[in-house]
Amino acid sequence: MPISKWKRRCLTGVAFVAILGTIDYAVDFALTPYDGLSHVIWQDFRRTDDIDLIYVGTSLGSRSYVPTTFDQVTGMSTFNLSSNGQRLSDSYKAIQTAIHDKHINYVVLNLEYGQRIQSINSTVVYNRAMVEDKGPLEKLMNTASVCRSVGLKKKESIQVLFPWVFDHVTPGHVLDNIKVKMNPERDVSWKSHWEHYIGQGSFQGSGMVNVHLKSNKGLKQVYKVKDASGIFPDRVFEDLGRICELCNANNVKLMVTFSPKPVFSILGVAKEHFEFDKKLKQFFASYGVPYYDFVLLKSDRFHNSDDYYYDHEHPNPEGSINFTMAFADFFKHWKAGDPVDDYFYTPEEYLASIHYIDACYFNNKVKEQGIQLHGISLNGIGITPEFEYQLWDDQSKRYQTIREYSQNPDFTFVPLQKGKYKLRLNVRQAGSSVLQEQYFEKTVSF
């Protein structure tokens, strides 16, 4: 009996989908890194038997909280499920999974300014790793959930089905990647040239921020940080509310935190930061959830230093371990029901505690008559800065002063000809005799 035209089309369609799916699976197996960070974290999570507490959040959370250090101080068993660019919808699913699989009692959710602008790529990779050990139906439901969170009408949602397009090894490592994946005894390990996995979901970056150079990634972010601060949009508050309700419904104690940043990162946006802080505290109080801004942790509890960070916000190993020890001590007292409000400065007390100039920089505008410079000093309240401008001299191989110290931050430099000019801003407290407390260098074209 001949097959009808309609049946033939259906069979052709099924065959096409099956072939496409097989090819996609094979390519995905060959190209997706065996040691991708999300894969390593979730594999390690599944191998860990007893977990009392999990951390969720973005890269700030993954680098700020070191479970091994926390556990030594508190005697608890914790795991860090934070990840680069983690969306709140991912945090929700991570908490849900930990409640179901590990019966956790506590969650620490760490927030940051950029919570609303996380990448789609990271959420796809994280979710795939989360359900690696699940059945086909659960994987399919997870894929559909990610598509919804990304937005079905957005072209990026296709990346959910073909993630190897953006998450793949280099051509020279394909064979090694396949060999390791086919070995079921492969170890949990992940390393790169600038950070390494240290266990229990935590990984660290190395280095130290240099606030003096325009080329430094860290200080450049000070110029842009206002774009990412301020108040979260309604959608983010909806996601935060869902997380609060999930924890409350399962009798899991949720603590929301804002981890420390370099002093200059806060001073650059102090007004916006503390307004943002106040709104968050009010929001979480409506759910009976505590919110703590550890930027305000008193210096006798944690002596913050710019040397503890490798960029404008991420702590290096020394910073993360020192902060985790302070946080663990705080958590023990909070868990015991002890009063902890006096652990923190008020915003005014915090700014008054910074009795020095932490960093400086200048903005510039190139006009026909010259280069207009505007110096900015990042310091606590009660300090009057003064500004000096210098120009690099190639002949003497040193900076020459072109404007003596003055409390006026503005200066127009008039070059004699077109070219590139290496300029330096020195800043000190008015009345001081030191050469400078902080400086900033930048090359400007005229």
Q: What domains are there in the chain, each with its CATH number?
A: 32-194+204-350 (3.40.50.1110), 357-445 (2.60.40.10)
Averaged pLDDT score across all residues of the chain:
81
**What are the contacts of 21-27 at 24+ separation with CB within 8 A?**
24/161, 24/162, 27/164
Q: At 438, is the secondary structure helix, strand, or coil? A: strand
Q: Backbone phi, then psi, for 413, in 5-degree steps? A: -95, 125
Residue 298 has pLDDT above 70, yes or no: yes
Q: What pLDDT was estimated at residue 265?
A: 85
Mean pLDDT, residues 78-107: 92
Q: How confident is the model at residue 152 (pLDDT cuts 50, 70, 90)?
A: very low
What pLDDT is stored for residue 197 in this prediction?
A: 75
* Spatial CA neighbour of 35 closest among 44, 27, 26: 44
User: Per-residue pLDDT for 340 more than 90?
Assistant: yes
Is residue 393 packed enough to be buried (19+ CB in 10 Å), middle (13-18) or exposed (0-12)? exposed
Q: Which range, 291-295, 364-368, 381-385, is most confident? A: 291-295
Q: What is the dihedral of CA 219, 221, 226, 229, to 10 degrees?
A: -110
This prediction's pTM: 0.81
- Angle, CA of 138, 140 and 143, to the nearest 5°: 110
The side-by-side arrangement of strands in the sheet containing 291-293 is 78-80, 53-57, 106-110, 253-258, 291-293
Please answer whether residues 37 and 198 qualify as being in contact, where contact means their C-beta atoms are separated by less than 8 angstroms: no
Confidence of residue 229 (pLDDT cuts 50, 70, 90): very low
Is the model more confident about 136 or about 54? 54
